Amino acid sequence: MAPPDQVAVSKSATALVDQALHDSVTSTMTCSDIVTILISHGCTDLTSSLDDPVCSKYPVANGGLGDVFHGRLRNGMTVAIKTIRAYYDQGKLSRMYHKRAAKEIYTWSKCKHPNVVELIGLAVFRDCLAMISRWEQNGNLLHYLSQHPSVDRCHLSTSICAGLTYLHENDIVHGDLKGANVLIARDGRPMLMDFGNASLLDATLQFTETNTGPSFSLRWTAPEILEGTGSHTIAADVYALGMTILEAFTSKIPFADKSDQSLVAHILFHKNTPTRPETIIPSRSMHGNKLWDILTRCWASDPKDRPSAGVIWDEMKPITTETLKVLEVEPERDG
């Protein structure tokens, strides 16, 4: 459970605002109109605070739902500016997208947790609706691991679990959990970002011709989503959490030896999960089998068989670098 001093999203208040946003946001609104509505519900407008001439001319990163620019506020703070694309050429999707984007932005603005990136405000940036957060020089999980290979990966993984548990306790589905969406703070603390986009992702999949476009993080995606029988849910987040923990320990993306083209058949038809990295999660260690059991339960083909993020968080806490060291005598398996 989240500590009491951390501000949780008020579910009743959020429900009321959700309805207000749904009723007031329309497909004909400009970005400025949407920002005005969100400001009226407590979000901070940073449009006039952006020092536009020093913001990057081109995106420094991009994805299926938007682009990220490097920027700076007039007070000198370096920030990340994430613009949200709207699908104006598809009226039905555009209308849904605006409503859902407003809801997700509002929800993010209320999240306060050390393992969740803080939304410091909104802006209209180059005619696009944009979300503003602090720029973190350490980059994402895999980049950080490449620069700091001796970092405590058990602590990183446990902290990622804490962040996801917080989101789920507040009825927020991340929808795109992976190492690339785990930002590392100045103090080495992992923070989840690009969360809460589940409804946007599902809408994009519903109204686009292909389900393998840029909104799809194939290697972290639960099999029920790949086969079209499920959507982005808390259980699908747990599947992705297992893959992200594996990334943290191996410094590699899941199924690193498989091409995207072969991966769907590998997962759906052959029901395969990642191969155990024995040198990193050794059987002959105090907690190696415990850790691998946690990961394989995350990857259960039936979503109902996956544990909650909170359970995983609790089970990860005793696992340390020391308890993953190879022992002279192989440990007894539980049960």
pLDDT (0 to 100) of residue 102: 76
Domains identified in the chain, total number: 2
Kindly state the helix (H) or strand (E) to which residue 103 belongs, with its residue range: helix 91-109
Last residue within a domain, chosen from 100, 134, 168:
134
Please check whether residue 223 is in contact with residue 199, taking contact to mean a CB–CB distance below 8 angstroms.
no
Nearest to 102 by CA among 205, 174, 14, 12: 14
* Stretch 315-321: mean pLDDT: 98
Q: Read off the DSSP letter of residue 331.
A: P
Is 49 in the same domain as 112?
Answer: yes
Please check whether residue 278 is in contact with residue 173, taking contact to mean a CB–CB distance below 8 angstroms.
no
pLDDT (0 to 100) of residue 226: 85
Cβ count within 10 A of residue 180? 21
Cβ count within 10 A of residue 152? 13
**pLDDT tens for residues 36-73?**
888 888 899 999 999 999 999 999 987 656 789 999 99
Angle at 111 between CA 105 and CA 114, to 5 degrees: 130
Q: How many residues does the chain have?
A: 335
pLDDT (0 to 100) of residue 196: 63
Beta bridge partners of 183: 140, 191
**pLDDT tens for residues 237-280?**
999 999 999 999 999 999 998 887 788 887 877 778 999 999 99
Cβ count within 10 A of residue 278? 12
Nearest to 237 by CA among 257, 253, 217: 217
CATH number at residue 112: 3.30.200.20
**pLDDT tens for residues 127-146?**
888 899 999 999 999 999 99
**Is residue 4 a part of any domain in this protein?**
no
pLDDT (0 to 100) of residue 100: 66
Distance CA 107, CA 101 (A): 10
Tokens of 9: 């999203």
Higher pLDDT, 198 or 141: 141
Is 38 in the same domain as 87?
Answer: yes
Measured in degrees and rounded to the nearest 5, phi and psi for residue 84 equal -110, 125
Enclosing domain of residue 52 = 11-134
Last residue within a domain, chosen from 97, 115, 134:
134
Is pLDDT at 203 greater than 90 in this prediction?
no
Buried-state track 32-46, b at ≥16 Cβ within 10 A, e below 16: ebbbebbeebebebb
